[in-house]
Structure 1
């Protein structure tokens, strides 16, 4: 998430738009606005903004996704299926892993710097009009949504694949009336904003289900399912549910991913290679398949599905970025996500010792995340990322010691140094009795932590903070 900006007041936001010339100027202008962590529950600003832009969100069909975990991976799968079918797509996801422009994609690819600047300049003349007319200015996220919808309309795209930022009903993306509303598994996250029970949070997320739409529901807890079904009945939406109308028939771990047999809404697809790890990604795949089948109303064709799933990527989701030792990045940031990742590690990898590098945000359930990983991690190096919202490494270590014991916990505030320390432990087998060089490192706890690690390890940027 974009957490590097202080909360600006309305007076901090420029009252007149100026054309940007570079990516950095766009980033600076967007970060001068309210960050995603600050919410004022209304769609008035984004509706006014979209109206000034000519309501671009009405010019294409859409698949809208919400849920507690799995949204970005599933959105990427939906996008890949649609592009393989020859349709033009626009994809909006958040947060970004490395660069802000990742959030807006056309035909499966992020906007390049020139296109990102152009997308900003296309909407910038209208931002100050909304800022002046509304009690509060447009936020960072609302401005990004307007940019995405306008870019999709301008392309033009056939289908928009849109991931909510937070919740559903009051999320800025929800000015769209999607043909298909996807609800991934719902748990407790962002409790201070959305509620402290899955049922309450489900009520918020159910807001993306619109009259006449098809609601594609992943497997849910009974109470959550009741809330979602009630919303569907209220608005007259059609419901298709995992385990009833579609599902994962079989899955087998394989080199580089897994083989899955999926029962879709319209057909069965046997022995597909999915280059992602874990049962949760197989579930995401069948939900994505059902969503696309619901959108097009017919089987997709075995060749299309096979080709699309073989090409799927999801950066920062059990992504192997280095060997000797193996380094894996995973953006799990809540207990449910951590449990899914831990199960996938057990299922698909043979790593001993596995040393964790963990950096969480201060508003997350640190105890729940660390406990979910405890059976898998021989040692944990507590660190922090560059966000002002990051939990201090020392504070995280206090929680970790209660779960792992002092001998299995280290503290290193510098992420680069934390990764180096973990790699040394993994290679030497010092965390547990293990053969030389058999270990691996898992960097996890936050999308920001993973993004910064990815820049260090993949992009080779300078070490340090």
Structure 2
């Protein structure tokens, strides 16, 4: 088959966007991704009916609580710099649905996505009918989404897929792949209503992505999480490599617009200093993990060529992660939505910027640990505006007020009915004095809203 077309411009781009949006709207008629079903066989059956596209290319699969998307993007970028045609599947999207499916570093075209969706219609109808006959619910949004991604990547065709786990691992819809490399970013508490009440339970579920004979590459972990990953590796005869033991980030220095890192890889080779154009020491850790994952894919005794490292990391982007969306005044957005992610965000701001005062615009989904997120953000907050996320799952800003007052004491806290109102107020405050800036955080959905609003308002950034 011919390669998938990349997004065009003008009327063609509008048609492509409309085609992708049409697919998205059909998917939204299914049970949403916020309500996963702990099952895997229906997804496997749907893929089987579609020709098992997930088996047509090798896979690196990425699980964890924080840093999954950034690490996945770094892995994909390094593989692309190596000359491979890549497919990258991440969730959720920030603005455009097609962001979830990347072919060679670009969002898939709407036409290609619609074509893959048309091919999936008949298998979906059969799978839904079989599930109804057995008394089960139909294929969900994310179950269909994952098989759609695999089908699109097989059609491209890609030479390697980098697949971010949606939630958990063992029963996540992406886990029908036969990943030869399983990557674990730091595991913490999140989605406890689905994954379990403690880190050990959550890690046990996430470790379900380990396959027989695979290579397991893990970040530095909480001891309880590492024990579960070690147990899964042993059960499946997998090779386990651990950050700090088998590969390591030797040095991480602040650089203009990002970090400069020194890494010792799986072969024991010390790489020359490499530039990572992302903010925060956590992004340096993500980059080191990505390097080890790509080494594992090609073979631990094969260090990456220097030009691959430089190009792969140098071209890296991570939308929604301390992304600049406005310059007059300065406005950043970050998708941090749990205490661990919020703490990493605070460290990145403190390390990378010298704002005299920072206004936070915060919206949080109702099921999240709002008190933990707000407490983690407290060290950088000089003013807080609470607002609603554009989601039925949003926490009511009025309900967050007492939580915020306790978590961020002695700080002005206001409520705005909408994100545009919150941004208008925060930007007006920031414009009144030198050294002030605005940061939007608390939800991936809110981050996407802010990016889209900034584009519509013409704030002067991409």
Q: TM-score, normalised by structure 2?
A: 0.92
Report what 1:42 is aligned to: 39
Asked if 1:90 corresponds to 2:87, the answer is yes
Question: 311-320 or 116-125: which moved more?
Answer: 116-125
**Where has structure 1 moved over 2 Å in runs of 4 or more?**
20-25, 403-407, 458-462
Report what 2:287 is aligned to: 285
1:461, distance to aligned residue in structure 2 (A): 8.1
Report what 2:67 is aligned to: 70
The match for 1:122 among 102, 112, 119 is: 119
Question: 362-371 or 31-40: which moved more?
Answer: 31-40
The match for 1:295 among 297, 300, 303 is: 297
Asked if 1:268 corresponds to 2:263, the answer is no
Which structure 2 residue ranges, 5 or more long, are not aligned? 1-16
The match for 1:79 among 70, 76, 79 is: 76
SS at match of 1:270: coil
Residue-by-residue CA offset, 1:16-47 (whole Å, 9 max, x unaligned): xxxx9833321221000010111221112101
8 A Cα contact 2:20 2:110, kept in partner: yes
1:459, distance to aligned residue in structure 2 (A): 4.2
- Distance in 2, Cα, partners of 1:446 & 1:438: 25
Q: TM-score, normalised by structure 1?
A: 0.92
Asked if 1:313 corresponds to 2:317, the answer is yes
SS at match of 1:215: strand
- Distance in 1, Cα, partners of 2:334 & 2:271: 28
8 A Cα contact 1:325 1:437, kept in partner: no
1:361, distance to aligned residue in structure 2 (A): 0.3
Report what 1:107 is aligned to: 104
SS at match of 1:22: helix
Alignment of 1:383-462 (within 5 A): 383-405=387-409, 407-428=411-432, 436-460=433-457
Residue-by-residue CA offset, 1:39-92 (whole Å, 9 max, x unaligned): 221112101100011111111111000000000000000000001111011111
- Distance in 1, Cα, partners of 2:297 & 2:456: 37
- Distance in 1, Cα, partners of 2:271 & 2:330: 32
- Distance in 2, Cα, partners of 1:261 & 1:92: 28
Residue-by-residue CA offset, 1:330-379 (whole Å, 9 max, x unaligned): 00000000000001111111112111000010000000000001011111
1:249, distance to aligned residue in structure 2 (A): 0.9
Pick closer, same or farther for the CA change 1:272–1:194 going to 2, 3 Å. Answer: same
8 A Cα contact 1:355 1:442, kept in partner: yes
Asked if 1:368 corresponds to 2:369, the answer is no
SS at match of 1:351: coil
- Distance in 1, Cα, partners of 2:281 & 2:293: 19
Report what 1:172 is aligned to: 173
Residue-by-residue CA offset, 1:117-167 (whole Å, 9 max, x unaligned): 122112112111111101211111111111111111111111110000000
The match for 1:348 among 346, 349, 352 is: 352
Report what 1:17 is aligned to: none
1:227, distance to aligned residue in structure 2 (A): 1.0
8 A Cα contact 1:251 1:260, kept in partner: yes
Question: 37-46 or 203-212: which moved more?
Answer: 37-46
Report what 1:251 is aligned to: 252
1:407, distance to aligned residue in structure 2 (A): 4.8
Pick closer, same or farther for the CA change 1:461–1:111 going to 2, 3 Å. Answer: farther
SS at match of 1:166: coil
8 A Cα contact 2:382 2:411, kept in partner: no
- Distance in 1, Cα, partners of 2:194 & 2:458: 35
Residue-by-residue CA offset, 1:197-242 (whole Å, 9 max, x unaligned): 1111000000001110000010001111111101100110000000
Report what 2:213 is aligned to: 212
Residue-by-residue CA offset, 1:270-319 (whole Å, 9 max, x unaligned): 22111101111000000000000000111111111011111100000011
1:101, distance to aligned residue in structure 2 (A): 1.2
1:268, distance to aligned residue in structure 2 (A): 2.0
Pairs aligned (count): 436
8 A Cα contact 2:362 2:441, kept in partner: yes
